[in-house]
Chain A
Amino acid sequence: MKERLYSSHIALLVFMIQTGVAALSLSRKAAVYFGTNGWLSILILGCAAALNIVLIAMVNRIGNGISVFEIMDKSIPRFITIPIYFFLTAYFAIIGCLVGKQYIHIFQLIAFPSASPLMLKGCFDLLVLFLVTKGIYNIGKTATVFSMLILWMFFLLFAFSNDFELERMTPFVFKGGRNMLSGAVEMFAAFAGYELILFVMPYADRSKKWMRSVQIGNLMTTLTYLSLVFVSFGFFSLEQLKIMLYPLLDMLAYIQLPFVERLENLLFSFLLFTVVVTSSMYTWSACENAQNIFPKADRKVMSLFIVFVMFLISVIPDTLFELELWLKVVSYVEVALSFLFPIFLILLLLIQKRSGVKSHA
């Protein structure tokens, strides 16, 4: 009765890795970089991510589902792969750490100004460690439950139907924006995370459907972002959106119930579920890479060490501004890596196939 990572797990896992705190500022970025009707940019970015997933699917198909490490170890000498794995370990750990720290900073900004961010981050990291040590199957199951606790928030968009005005959209497309290309790369970070599926390949249910479920996960993210940004473009004016730090939070603050106010405070707390999954999956991927450097190391000790290092790294960026600068730099690397790494793997696989055919001949 061995557990498997089913297609539904993978779709929701991808959705949960992708969505996160980046959604809060996506409307502002779309307004600043793309200008009028900037919400259309989400469609373009979603398609780019879908294209990238096709590359990952090719790796899976050509490699017949074998792991990334197996592909690399077959063709590249170990003294070269070890620094690559080391870089990937550090890189994934940094992203996992920054994502968590960003959430903690924003939480402090809206609800907890007096609490120590390190204490909150420590608690967050313990939660990540708790999840990572449970293994990929349980991360998948947890992500599925967490997604149920997040998806209902989609219906909150109907709360804005009275104040939504189509006139705010204007007939102009992408006018009044600036640095569209670098902005697109920065915005693409909100979609990133699906590339971690490369490391999940050996654990997935070996049905043909599972790569389709990665696309479904990305489609869910795209549609969620699209509806969020579209509603905020119809709810706020373009100029308002450009100066708001987190337009989604301001929108949520607008919802009032008879027995509770400042609902954004509570709803933002729910985002913890998605941020934990994102951070855990990056940490898990870091562990997978580290395991290939030290194959005999105890997995739990290694996870503890990586999470501890992540905690130490998170001490460095002191302010939210500084943190977002770090994230901006990391997102450039992430975009490059998510496209180049699968291409690199496809090339390796093709070379391996060719040499395999030759040796058979």
Chain B
Amino acid sequence: MASNQEPVTLTHVLHDFDQCVDIVHRHFPLLSADIVFFDHLIDNNALERDILRPFANIQADEMHNLLMDSQFRAVTDHKKIIEGILKGDAAVFHCTSVYLVALYGPSSRAIEQSETEAVIIGPHDAFTESAFTNLSLIRRKLKSSHLKVVQLSVGEVVKCDVFVLYIDGIANMDYVNVMIERIRDIEIDIIVDSNMLVQHIDDYPNTIFPLFLTSERPDLIVSKLSGGKVAVIMDESPSVISGPTSLFEFFTSPDDYYQRWVIGTATRILRYIAFIITITFTAAYVSITTYHYEMIPENLLYTLIESRNRVPFPPVFEALLMEITIELLREAGARLPSKIGQTIGIVGGIVIGQAAVQAGLTSNILIIAVALSAIASFVIPSYVMSASIRFARFFLIVLAGLWGNFGLMVGISVIIIHLSKLTSLGSSYITPVAPLEFQDWKDLFIRGPFWMLKERPTQSRTRNKVRQKMKR
């Protein structure tokens, strides 16, 4: 490799890209010029417009004048040339000088609907893998010069661009600085996705709960930014990070705001009920059928005994067996193409469920409990949070199998104590319950009418608190 002091030659650069069949080197003998670039990283129209057409229309003696144009950036540092080529620039070699021309424009996925965060009403566009497309999606919705973007890069071996976004005057700069500092402190070879990045900037890396909200929806990120939060876009990742966040934010969805507030509130309450069902329903079944039969009313008791009398396992094994089966089905359904995934769902749901009951491996009522828990878990808008809650459910089932209601309450206590300890960018993860901020309840536990949502969330610790001044 050439040192930074020596003049950079074409040979040096080509040597660095030795055995890279995808590198393109074109020689222009009449102009004594060479260009080097990756064909798949550049926009061919831009190449035609900025290099090929001008080169075709000039003589050798006009070359110096052409290279004075603004698109040609003279570079002397070998490392920067290599980085530039890798980032989609074309390197132009003429005599002893080297110039970079920004031609980045690889073919990328079009802006589509998010598959993991689908909404029924409201905007359907979702982030893509291109950071600039994502920035554009945000800027289109947030047309303000106050939206600031700080560029950073992570990765020791492979540099990847990371952009920190915030609204000047609304976001608390302490959060912005902490976020920038944490990203700068990352020392790792490569990070390929923002969901990986988020684990490097977490306050508690060992928790099962997500400490930052990640979303593929521009409208959600824009609403977080306007609420005083900080967002992080990572190039080559369709998920954008927002923080600080609280546990309850994961139960909100942008379409809550696109509906009438009463409907939005009812949907939100439904999600909290779904959360309770997901986490406790199977565990409660195990607890009651193992230790507390007296809690079941007489009429229901006969049905339950009838359903369970052929099952040879204790309820905890029965429940774990079915829960693991459901998780297998879910994982298989997610990995397979959608049509086969649906078939797996039908085969799993009807055939295995029905067959398991008939074979006496499990009871009908447990199938209902497990299915209800599984359905409820998918009501939670965030897939990451839903996965965490499903994991916590296994812990509660085991404890309920060991000590009944006592075990169940011990399990819930452990989860709450753990949640109380967690912080996101240093602020409490269970805000607005602790610290108790009643004014935030109307935008987290219910979706209050817009005239009530006057202030930004307390967690943002913003000086610019007022969001709207309307009376109705």
Residues of A with Cβ closer than 8 Å to B? 1, 3, 6, 8-9, 12, 107, 111-112, 115, 120, 123-124, 127, 130-131, 134, 138, 140-142, 144-146, 148, 256, 258-263, 265-266, 269-270, 272-273, 276
Contacts and interface: CB of A to CB of B under 8 A. Distances in A.
A299 to B, nearest CB: 15
A272 B409 CA distance: 7
A127 B413 CA distance: 8
A-B interface, 9 closest residue pairs, ranked by CB to CB distance from nearest: A141-B434, A144-B434, A1-B426, A8-B436, A141-B420, A269-B405, A142-B420, A272-B409, A269-B409
A223 B137 CA distance: 55
B421 A261 contact: no
A260 to B, nearest CB: 5
Nearest to B300: A259
Contact of B295 (A3, A265, A273, A276): A265
Contacts of A263: 295
Contacts of B405: 111, 265-266, 269
Given A9-B435, A145-B433, A1 B427 contact: yes
A332 B45 CA distance: 89
A346 B407 CA distance: 44
A3 B428 CA distance: 8
A8 B413 CA distance: 20
24 contacts: A6-B436, A8-B435, A9-B435, A9-B436, A111-B405, A112-B291, A120-B403, A120-B406, A127-B413, A140-B434, A141-B428, A144-B435, A145-B430, A259-B300, A260-B295, A260-B297, A261-B294, A261-B297, A262-B292, A265-B405, A266-B295, A269-B409, A272-B410, A272-B413
Nearest to A114: B291
B410 A123 contact: yes
A134 B417 contact: yes
B414 interface: yes
A111 B403 CA distance: 10
Interface string B369-405: 0000000000000000000000000000000000111
B409 A270 contact: yes
Nearest to B418: A130
B84 to A, nearest CB: 40
Contacts of B417: 127, 130-131, 134, 138, 142
B60 interface: no
A144 B433 CA distance: 7
Nearest to A272: B409
Contacts of A124: 410
A86 B332 CA distance: 60
Given A138-B421, A260-B295, A266-B295, A145 B434 contact: yes
A3 B461 CA distance: 13
Contact of A272 (B174, B297, B404, B406): B406
A145 B432 CA distance: 10
B58 interface: no
B110 interface: no
A19 to B, nearest CB: 16
A8 B431 CA distance: 13
A259 B403 contact: no
B33 interface: no
B416 A142 contact: yes
B269 interface: no
A127 B433 contact: no
Nearest to B428: A141
Interface of B: 174, 291-292, 294-297, 300, 403-410, 413-414, 416-417, 419-421, 425-428, 430, 433-436
B416 A111 contact: no
B277 to A, nearest CB: 14
Contact of B436 (A144, A261, A269): A144
Contacts of A131: 417
Contacts of B430: 141, 145
B32 to A, nearest CB: 60
Nearest to A263: B295
A166 B44 CA distance: 89
A11 to B, nearest CB: 9
A338 B291 CA distance: 41
Contacts of B404: 111-112
Which of A145, A148, A258, A276 neighbours the largest number of chain B CB atoms within 10 Å of its CB?
A: A145
B364 to A, nearest CB: 16
Contacts of B408: 269
B406 to A, nearest CB: 6
A273 B413 contact: yes
A3 B420 CA distance: 12
B421 A134 contact: yes
A302 to B, nearest CB: 19
A123 B403 contact: yes
Given A8-B436, A138-B421, A145-B430, 9 more contacts: A130-B417, A142-B420, A142-B434, A145-B433, A256-B297, A260-B295, A265-B405, A269-B406, A272-B409
A2 B426 CA distance: 8
Contacts of B433: 144-145, 148
B428 A262 contact: no
A221 to B, nearest CB: 18
B295 A145 contact: no
Contact of A261 (B295, B410, B427, B428): B295
B174 A1 contact: yes
Nearest to B298: A261
Contacts of B428: 3, 141
A138 B422 CA distance: 9
A144 B432 CA distance: 11
Contacts of B174: 1
Contacts of B297: 256, 258-261
A96 B292 CA distance: 28
Contacts of B300: 259
A127 B399 CA distance: 13
B410 A262 contact: no
Q: Pick from B416, B417, B427 the residue with the most CB of A within 10 Å.
A: B417
B377 to A, nearest CB: 21
Nearest to B429: A141
A260 B287 CA distance: 13
Nearest to B419: A145
Contacts of A270: 409
Contacts of A6: 435-436
Contacts of B292: 111, 262, 265
A212 to B, nearest CB: 15
Nearest to A130: B417
A345 B413 CA distance: 36
Contacts of A141: 420, 428, 430, 434-435
